[in-house]
A and B are shown apart, each in its own frame.
Chain A
Amino acid sequence: MAYRLGVDVGGTFTDVLLIDEEDSSFHVAKVPSTPADSSIGVLNGIARVCELADIRPGAIQNVMHGTTVATNAILTGKGARVGLVTTKGYRHVLQIARSFVPGGLGAWVIFNKTPPLAPLALTVEAHERIDARGEIVETLDEDELRESLRSLEQKGIDALTISLINSYTNDSHEKIAGRIAAEELPDIPISLSSQVIPEMQEYERTITTVCNSYVRPIVSRYVRNLSRELGTISGDVNLHILRSDGGLTSPVGAETVPVNLLMSGPAGGVTGALWIVRQAGFDNFLTFDMGGTSTDVCLVRDGVAQIRRETTVGDLTVRASSVDVRSVGAGGGSIAHVPELTKALRVGPESAGADPGPAGYGKGGSEPTVTDANVVLGHLPEASLLGGDLAIDRAKSADAVGKIARALDFSTERAAAGIYNIVNETMIGALRLVSVQQGFDPRDFALVAFGGAGAMHANALARILGCWPVIVPPSPGVLCAYGDATTRTRDEASRSLMRRFSETSQADVLAILEELAEQAAKSLDAEGIPRADQSAHFEIDVRYAGQVLHLTVTVDMEELRRSGLGCIEAAFDELHERLYTFALDMDREIINLRAIVQGKETPLSAPRLAAGTRDASAAQAGSQTVYVEGAHRDVPVYDRARLLAGNVIEGPAIVMQLDSTTVLLPDHDGEIDAIGNILIRPRGAG
């Protein structure tokens, strides 16, 4: 018997999902997270799930794991002391950054820049120079470098980045410097910019590599501990870590290039949504994961999540591929306020966070949050209906929202509806970023809601964006663990070319792509994945000659063999037209070529729900007064656990479960599908 395990470590709970690889049956365990050392929570979860499944841990062969260790190190500022080696003349590459002052005209007045991720006191310059064509103009002064490195050692660093000008065209100086550093600083992990991200633009390459160094010691410690502990309990187990781009990497890959893990957590959510939503028969959808302090959205097209060659965590943006999850700093905890000067109703950017949290949680919060607005609107029924223990103090929520009501001279309910609508607009802004701004019409997509608050807002968002149906998966909590467990192993290899189409040939391009595929395939071979189970796809980054940025064109190898490079140029023009409304009659340039090789998908089907009739009344747990469309209405409350496949819930209605609440608006129906998703559509739209 072979088992695989998906593990997702969240802020509060660690979810573990155990899958029998032969018959796809599974077990789920939920244990408290252990923030001080999250591997403890993971091991507790594994012990629990093995107990539930009545297997010994040794039967587990593969563990797939999404982690937020790297992300948290950045958000909490608890990363490594990073030393940095730059080319002479570029010591301030991070201090100057891109000279950008955020906030628009006049914002310099209030702009306070944070010190760079690698302190200037720990930045040294190397005498060396490589030019834009990769030729060595000045050889590296090795003796001077040794001395500089020794000075860094004295100051004490935990990790080192070497990022030299034009190393994307020729990495030889970085390699020599890396070798010298390894001799001088034997215990310090060294990251070379030409290995982490061999791309043009010195600031972006440097910050990405420095970020890699910054999270490297902490990630490396975590991964090693986890591997060791896993080895102790289940022997010969393969640990795989989920990368930001939704692929899996080995522990060694995670340790050396941890900058690729910054979006590991959200990527798990998206792949989990992908798994369950595709089983419901949808290939095109937007994910909407609304939590307490932030909301993540992502676009999935033809069953593939959009990938962006950039990752943003907090204020930090680096060049690392990630599932194109956009975060907005608004969620259930966002605080509403009415500034004196404008009397406008604003929601956020301040958040009550988890502590003190919304006023209605009774933990000392008194500011009106989005959650309080939902309480006032009646979206959060008495938990006692389900026997849960989440106590909400309605009076406190009403008091808090009352502040807004007084400032606007509204009723409390109307103020709550205002807060609800304003925060929805912020969410729409985020959904637009991934859809309309990328040239996609949201009406061609479904909207998948998860996270604690997602299903309370999704119906209202879909009504504005027209993205139907709204899909609320059965257990939003363990979605990420499903994502981890069902992800495919993946690796990619890429190479810069920088040639105009007229300067290269079909044969050259094909040869490079095939060589890259072979290179990527080898790393999957090393993971024990037979070639028969591997599949490759190809991408080329193209731009108009002279443009700065490029677009990524997916390559159909058959078509390329058949019709030549023209098909790439045509696909590029089409993409340019879609994104930017026009194409140009100009020479096009190939920038990078890339091959991505994946292992096969894990066939795992979701459990089926018992079938029922259209009538959902058997699942009704009570009723609740809800303020909707300017009036109070008595609406039914359903218990999610008692709903059967085929049941149809007529809105307005509320569906409760322990970890989330779904709000259905008037004139909308929610149908329960065979695997327990609620599919919400406007009535009559079937």
Chain B
Amino acid sequence: MPATVIESNHTPFSRVEVDPVDLDIIENALRNARHEMDAVLFRTAMSPGIREQHDEFPLIANRDGKMVVGQFGAFINVFLNSYEGEIHEGDVFLTNDPYSCDGAISHTPDWLVLLPIFKNGRVIGWAAMFGHMTDTGGRVPGSMPTDAQQIFEEGIIIPPTKIYRRSERQEEILQLILHNCRMPHWNRSDLDALIAGCRLAAIRVIELSDRFGDDTYFSALEELLERTRRAMRHIILTGISEEKQYFEDYLDDDGVGMGPYKIACTLWREGDKMILDFEGTDPQSQSSINFYCNEEMTKMHCGVFLIMLADPQILFNDGFYDLMDVRIPEGTLYKPIKPAALSCRTHGLARCMDVLAGLFGQSNPDYMCAAGFSASPHFLYSGYDSRGEWFQLFHIAFGGIAAAPSGDGADGHGMWPDFTNVPCEYLEAICPLRMDAHEVIPDSGGAGLHRGGNGVHTAYRILNAGDVSIHDDRWLSYPWGVRGGLPGARSRKYVERTDGTIEVLPSKCDRVRVEPGDVVHYCTWGGGGWGDPLERPVKQVAFDVEAGLVTAAGARRYGVVVGEESAVNEEATRALRESMRLERGNPDLFDMGGDIDEIVARCEEETGLPAPRPPEFAPWALTRLSQHSRTQAFDPPGAGRKA
């Protein structure tokens, strides 16, 4: 049964003609409002995850729940269809259940606030915003058990719930929720901040509709959606091939010793419609790396990627979703069935960006980017401090951005919008930690005409006994390079104990006991390179060497010979480049660092960690998928791998 929205004013909005300039003004004003939502949140949230790292996403939607400005796909329609109850003016909803909002948020630490914007008794729009809470209860600090088998181990699950009922705060419900969290004061203020952001959006929408009239505002939003649709249609028609393009990439392991897991996707165009089919993706994991993927969200990621490459000024919104068809078979890693565990979905979510880059790049060389920092790896640390007070840190790491047609990837940055790192001095002031290093790892970016960004080495010196969790990936598969560019370096984590022993840490683990004096080293991966490294101007390679971003040994990957004092040996360079060219021949379009089976075979020798066992899937999931494939008569096309 769908939700009943209680409106006292039943006058329908009418579609009126909107002056094109008014339309542009409304577009700008909505963009400003969306940035104001962020600004309010950053200033008022308290957890470092939201406040400093900006792990949050806002949106403003039209009356039907279609996102007009924002950063995550619209789920409001799904919510309206599934919420059983009435929606009144002054109601504010809270949820963290991916299974109740069709994956608009994809794990329980993300808390989503949604409110209807009422004006004169009618709904004129919606505002929503979600942010990652440091903790939401459950089995381990941070609420993301790396070995969870069900979502019920991942903290309190809040179905869409009125946290304000007709403007009245539901204090008991809030208390019930907060009581289940390890850092309740952070949850409380972060939630208040999310609500403040949404309320601010509501104020702006009401002001804007006052200024232009409700019907004009209503109609303008429709036109903005249509305008983006027109632009996207053009991009799809000109940028996406009718020929099927196939790409696959991997999640290295599942936290319980199995992997790698395959993510397969095929892209093609039929008329003006783009089709993205995840047929061939592995069945759902029995652990927590499943990513409950929202199709609309995937469309948004595709749209954003295409818009950035075609015309970054295009407003991205939900207008073009009917031009894309995203097909994700149920029971797979990307569409697990409840109660599958989801908390460690960050790898699957982010790896999707690499898969898209691989697909679009085959369709249109201008869109070809290397594999990048498709992740937001986490370091979690908790325990009792010297005063006996509980502390808990959720810290996101940064790494090497992919090299792209536009140039080098940045060193030690991130792919998620607005994310920023936490100052080390701040970490030291709030946690029993000393940050011994926070530095770029030379040579970790893939060599190329455009260099992949370097990863980061962070050294956490532990000052108080506690537990550490690690959430990371790409320790086994490589951040691939393209068009002759080489792969970036993989990630590594290890703990240096006070007695000098080194323990290599797996990429996904909880409850690693640490003692004062231990140093946890977290080395993130580099971005893949783009284009032929032998074509990179020698001057740029020399600059990187002098800056310490590439070593003299690393410069040889560019065929550049560097001697004392970073001086380039021109003659030796010419000779080396020539011999490397001959030896290499024409490079493949993708350089994945070798065949995945070979990489697995070399695993222990290269990484110091045992190779993961091949994944075991639940029999029902396998059966289900084979039935699905038969009905789809799916035949993965061979990918054109030559540049």
Check if B547 sits within 8 Å of A111, measured CB to CB. Answer: no
Chain A residues in 8 Å Cβ range of B179: none
CB-based contact A546/B185 at 8 Å:
yes
| Stretch touching chain B among A113-121, A390-398, A451-459 | A113-121
Contact digits for B305-345, partner A, Cβ 8 Å, 1 yes 0 no: 10111111111100000000000000000000000000000
CB A495 to nearest CB in B, in angstroms, measures 17
Q: Is B640 an interface residue (CB 8 A)?
A: no
- Is A586's CB within 8 Å of the partner chain B? yes
- Interchain CB contact under 8 A, A95 and B440: yes
Known contacts A110-B308, A111-B401: A91-B32 contact under CB 8 Å = no
Q: Which of A402-444 contact B (CB under 8 A)?
A: 408, 410, 417-418, 421-422, 425-426, 429, 432, 437
Per-residue CB proximity of A187-209 to B under 8 Å, as 1/0?
A: 00000000000001111100000
Q: Tell me the chain B residues, 206-235 only, with Cβ under 8 Å from chain A.
A: 211, 227-228, 230-231, 234-235
B176: A residues at CB distance < 8 A: none
A345 and B196 contacting across the interface, CB-CB below 8 Å:
no
Contacts of A532 in B (CB 8 A): none
Q: How far is the CA of A137 from the CA of B186 in the complex (A)?
A: 31
- Contact status B21-A201, CB under 8 Å: no
Q: Which single residue of chain A is at the shortest CB-CB distance from B36?
A: A437
Is B437's CB within 8 Å of the partner chain A?
Answer: yes
When distances are taken between beta carbons in the complex, the residues of chain B under 8 Å from A425 are: 24-25, 28-29
Q: How many angstroms from the CA of A120 to the CA of B411 in the assembled complex?
A: 13
> Is the Cβ of A581 less than 8 Å from the Cβ of B414?
no
Q: Total A-B residue pairs with C-beta atoms closer than 8 Å? A: 230
Asked if A202 and B423 make an inter-chain contact with CB atoms under 8 angstroms apart, the answer reads yes
Of the candidates A107, A343, A586, the one whose C-beta lies within 8 Å of that of B308 is A107
B44: chain A residues at CB < 8 Å are 580, 582
Task: Assess whether B234 is in contact with A586, with CB atoms less than 8 Å apart.
Answer: no
Instruction: Evaluate contact between B199 and A548: CB separation under 8 angstroms.
Output: no
Restricting to B184-206, which residues have a CB under 8 Å from any CB of A? 185-186, 189, 192-193, 196, 199-200
Q: Which of A96-104, A256-264, A275-283 contacts B (4 or more CB under 8 A)?
A: A96-104
Q: A548 vs B42: C-alpha distance in the bound complex, in angstroms?
A: 10
The residue that B425 contacts in the complex, of A96, A113, A200, with Cβ under 8 A, is: A200
Compute how far the CA of A129 lies from the CA of B435 in the bound complex, rounded to whole angstroms: 10
Closest approach, in angstroms, between the C-beta of A270 and any C-beta of chain B? 23
A506→B434 CA distance, assembly (Å): 34
Q: Are A99 and B421 in contact (CB under 8 A)?
A: yes
Decide: A105 near B46, CB < 8 A? Known: A96-B421, A131-B434, A342-B230: no
Pair A91/B548 contact, Cβ less than 8 Å: yes
Tell me if A55 counts as interface (CB < 8 A to partner B).
no
Known: A95-B411, A548-B48. A120 touches B547 (CB 8 A): yes
Q: In the assembled complex, which residues on chain B have CB atoms less than 8 Å from the CB atom of A464?
A: 211
Report if B51 contacts A (CB, 8 A).
Answer: yes
Residues in B whose Cβ lies below 8 Å from that of A131 = 428, 434
A106 within 8 A of B: yes
Instruction: Report which of B25, B196, B423, B424 forms a contact with A422, defined as CB distance below 8 A.
Output: B25
**Which residue of A100, A422, A584 contacts B419 across the interface (Cβ within 8 Å)?**
A100
B20, B23, B398, B401: most-surrounded residue (chain A CB, <10 A): B20
Residues of B within 8 A of A426 (CB): 28
Are B313 and A339 touching (Cβ within 8 A)?
Answer: yes
Could you tell me the distance between the alpha carbons of A111 and B29 in the complex, rounded to whole angstroms? 25
A468 within 8 A of B: no
Interface residues of B in 412-463 (CB under 8 A from A): 412-421, 423-426, 428-430, 434-440, 456, 459
- Give chain B residues whose Cβ lies under 8 Å from the Cβ of A638: none
**Minimal Cβ-Cβ distance residue in B for A576:** B44
Q: How far does the Cβ of B428 sit from chain A's closest Cβ, in whole Å?
A: 4
A142-182 interface mask toward B, CB cutoff 8 Å, 1 = contact, 0 = none?
00000000000000000000000110100000000000000
**In this complex, what residue of A is CB-closest to B413?**
A99
Contact A203 B21 (CB under 8 A): no
Evaluate contact between B71 and A104: CB separation under 8 angstroms.
yes
Closest to A342 in B: B231
User: Which of B117-125, B243-251, B402-410, B573-581 forms part of the interface with chain A?
Assistant: B402-410
Is residue B465 within 8 Å, beta carbon to beta carbon, of the partner chain?
no
Chain B residues closer than 8 Å to A1, beta-carbon distance: none
Interface size of B in residues (CB-CB distance below 8 Å): 90
**A548 & B426 in contact (Cβ 8 Å cutoff):** yes
The reply on A544 being an interface residue by CB < 8 A is yes
Q: Point out which of B24, B200, B404, B414 has the most chain A C-beta atoms below 10 A from its C-beta.
A: B24
Residues of chain A with a CB closer than 8 A to B624's CB: none
Tell me the complex Cα distance, A367–B316, Å: 27
Q: Is the CB of A581 within 8 A of B418?
A: no
Instruction: Determine the residue in chain B with the shortest Cβ distance to A436.
Output: B36
Q: Which residues of A contact B417 (CB under 8 A)?
A: 101, 103-107
Pairwise interchain contact B425-A99, C-beta atoms closer than 8 A: no
B437's partner among A90, A119, A137, A410 (CB-CB below 8 A) is A90
Decide if A582 touches B425 in the complex (CB within 8 Å): no
Q: How far is the CB of B623 from chain A (nearest CB, A)?
A: 37
The complex places the Cα of A544 from the Cα of B418 at a distance, in Å, of: 24
Pairs across A and B, CB under 8 Å, 21 listed: A90-B438, A95-B411, A96-B421, A96-B456, A98-B420, A100-B419, A101-B401, A101-B415, A101-B417, A108-B410, A108-B413, A109-B406, A113-B410, A132-B434, A341-B311, A342-B227, A418-B24, A429-B28, A579-B43, A582-B196, A584-B189
Interface residues of A (CB under 8 A from B): 88-93, 95-96, 98-101, 103-113, 115, 119-121, 129, 131-132, 137, 165-166, 168, 200-204, 339, 341-346, 408, 410, 417-418, 421-422, 425-426, 429, 432, 437, 464, 544, 546-549, 579-582, 584, 586
* Contacts A105-B304, A108-B414, A109-B404 supplied; 4 other A-B pairs, CB < 8 Å: A101-B419, A131-B434, A548-B46, A548-B48
Report the 3 A-B pairs with minimum CB-CB distance, sorted nearest first: A89-B437, A120-B547, A106-B304
